[in-house]
Amino acid sequence: MTWSIVVAHAVLVQVFTYAVRPGLSYAVIEAGGSAAILGLIGTAFALPALALALPAGRFTDRLGERTIALLGALLMVLSGVVALVFIDQVTGLLAAAFLLGLGHLLSVVSEQTVVANLSTEGKRESAFGLYTFAASTGQAAGPLLLALPHEASLGPNLSLVFLISLSVGVLLALTSAFMKSSPSAGTTTAQAGILSTSHALLRKRGVLRALIAGSLALASIDVTLAFWPALGTERALPAVIISTMLTVRAVMTMASRAALPLLIRTMSRKALLSTALLVSALGLGLTGLPVNSVLLITGAAIFGLAIGVCQPITMAWLTDVAEARHRGMAMSLRLAGNRVGQSTVPALVGVLAPATGVLGILIATAASLTLAAGITLRSPKAASEDTT
């Protein structure tokens, strides 16, 4: 029952996020916001959670996964309400992105802590592969809402998108109520401080490089959520093309995560992660080029297939090196690193928009993935990593 609840929770969280997050980008565009504002939407989603990622992990270890999951679900529902009420106001949309980022953070910390505590060493890639496969299912389903037609424009029917998302959020809150906290929750009262625990984890071999690579990988996905809709507007593409790109990306990510148990038996973590980052850079770069819709969707497929393995690999890596009572902290440390990338990369590449358009933004992001691959290749093999 615990696994089924976690899987359902992961699907609902991502359906909500991957409908509302790009929906906010479309809403900003319709409200007259610039490409720089689109970058700020990405920052608003990531930056507040950056400050709370490590405390969220500590609270999860102490209060239990169910409490944190419920709080996250309520914040996500609130973000949908704000988006619907302030659909034509940029400041309101920024506030909705803020609430969405915070609710998403708490939701995924609770999920990942459950998975970390349920799985055993040697089988964690498979466990996190299943978990991230479920998340990818939601990521594939969420953008389908953007294909709902709007009578007055080529864009999606945003009011309907946000309204349906609210119903998903209510289901998420109900599912959170059935999530069970781990037995270790609340049993330790004299844990080391947040900073000292984080420092100890960062001193593990290869962990810092894995965190950097993982944050750049996740930031690239966030860039697609913000700037693929802008690509559609810039090139006058129908919303169904952008919706298809987002959905295909997520479906191919599902495929790579389903194949992860096989892949990890044939390649080391470091080799698999670095190869995936290089291939994802090629796919993302293709989506920025002035090509036809078929090649745009092909690029999205290549990107999704390669980028999918990055998250479960870094999750398993961190879980292996963390003590059981610090696994919430380990997951939140990874999320904090991700938030650094998400809060800086979209805003930085958004500055390129006036000079280069969306093409320059996507090419620059692809270059960051190439950098991440180089960082991974230079990382020493973790002590917990199996040889191949």
Question: Which of 12-16, 47-51, 125-129, 323-327 shows the highest mean pLDDT?
Answer: 12-16
Question: Which of 5-14, 347-356, 357-366 shows the highest mean pLDDT?
Answer: 5-14
| DSSP for residue 185 | T
In contact, 21 and 45? CB cutoff 8 Å:
yes
Q: What is the mean pLDDT of the chain?
A: 84
* Contacts for 107 with CB less than 8 Å, ≥ 6 apart: 9, 13, 69, 72, 73, 76, 172, 176
What pLDDT does residue 107 have?
Answer: 95
What pLDDT does residue 247 have?
Answer: 85
Using alpha carbons, list the distances in angstroms from residue 111 to 132, 181, 194: 10, 10, 20
- Higher pLDDT pick, 148 / 224: 224
DSSP H or E run through 121: none
Question: Nearest Cα to 299, choosing from 359, 372, 341?
Answer: 359
Q: Indicate if the pLDDT at residue 120 is higher than 90.
A: no
Whether 188 is in a domain gets the answer no
Q: Give the tens place of pLDDT for each residue, 21-42.
A: 999 988 998 888 877 788 888 8
What pLDDT does residue 315 have?
Answer: 82
Cα distance between residue 57 and residue 63, in whole Å: 10
Whether 300 is in a domain gets the answer yes
Using alpha carbons, list the distances in angstroms from residue 343 to 14, 44, 291: 19, 7, 29
Whether 388 is in a domain gets the answer no
What is the tally of structural domains in the chain? 1
Whether 204 is in a domain gets the answer yes
- Higher pLDDT pick, 124 / 24: 24
- Length of the chain measured in residues: 388
Q: How confident is the model at residue 193 (pLDDT cuts 50, 70, 90)?
A: low
Share of the chain above pLDDT 70, in %: 90
Q: Which domain holds residue 9?
A: 2-180+193-377
| Token representation of residue 313 | 């690999």
What pLDDT does residue 295 have?
Answer: 96
Phi, psi of 309 (to 5 degrees): -80, -15
CATH classification at residue 273: 1.20.1250.20
Q: Indicate if the pLDDT at residue 43 is higher than 90.
A: no
| Token representation of residue 103 | 């609710």
Whether 383 is in a domain gets the answer no
* Contacts for 29 with CB less than 8 Å, ≥ 6 apart: 38, 155, 229, 230, 233
In contact, 80 and 70? CB cutoff 8 Å:
no
Q: Give the tens place of pLDDT for each residue, 210-263.
A: 788 888 998 898 889 888 988 888 888 888 899 899 889 988 988 998 888 888
Whether 125 is in a domain gets the answer yes
What pLDDT does residue 379 have?
Answer: 64
Supply the pTM of this predicted model.
0.73
Question: Nearest Cα to 350, choosing from 175, 197, 222, 243?
Answer: 222
Cα distance between residue 292 and residue 151, in whole Å: 25
Whether 29 is in a domain gets the answer yes
Q: How confident is the model at residue 275 (pLDDT cuts 50, 70, 90)?
A: very high
Give the mean model confidence (pLDDT) for residues 125-135: 85
Phi, psi of 2 (to 5 degrees): -60, -45
Q: Give the tens place of pLDDT for each residue, 313-333.
A: 888 877 777 777 667 777 888
Whether 71 is in a domain gets the answer yes
Q: Indicate if the pLDDT at residue 388 is higher than 50.
A: no
Cα distance between residue 341 and residue 14, in whole Å: 19
Q: Any alpha helices (H) in the chain, and if so which ranges?
A: 2-30, 35-63, 65-85, 90-118, 124-141, 158-177, 194-202, 207-234, 239-258, 260-266, 269-288, 293-307, 310-321, 327-350, 353-377
What pLDDT does residue 152 have?
Answer: 67
| Sign, Cα dihedral of 271, 276, 277, 279 | positive
